[in-house]
Amino acid sequence: MLNLAVIIAFGLVSAALALTFWRLLRGPDQPDRILALDTLYVNAIALLVLLGIHLNSSLYFEAALLIAMMGFVGTVALCKYLLRGDIIE
């Protein structure tokens, strides 16, 4: 039961990753691409958490936490670059 749910969830999250990636490639404007990148981080966290449940190991948690932190910093830095043309003032 749990295994089946995890496998279906893997499929759904992978589809989400593919859709996001499509937006990243296509995105007509730069904010679109940054948004796609941000969503990609969140989807990667979801995938890692699922992998942790599937393999029954809590090792992947640290990776998820790191992606959450670095993803946020990256998004903010890119937005700041678009707003100011500079990251560190």
Partner 1 sequence: MLDILLSVLILTGAIFTFIGSLGLARLRDFYTRLHGPTKATTLGVGSLLIASMIHFSAQGEGVSLHEILVTLFLFITAPVSAHLLSKAALHRRVESQAQVPAQIEEAETQTHFAAPTVDRL
Binding site for partner 1 (CB under 8 A): 1-2, 4-6, 8-10, 12-13, 15-17, 19-20, 22-23, 29-36, 38-39, 42-43, 45-46, 49-50, 52-53, 56, 58, 61, 64-65, 68-69, 72, 75-76, 78-85
Report the nearest approach of partner 1 to the CB of residue 43 (Å).
6
Non-local (6+) Cβ contacts of 72 within 8 A are 41
Type of residue found at 58: S
Asked whether 73 and 66 are in contact (CB, 8 A), the reply is no
Q: Give the SS3 label for residue 59.
A: coil
Shortest spacing between CB 88 and partner 1, in angstroms: 14
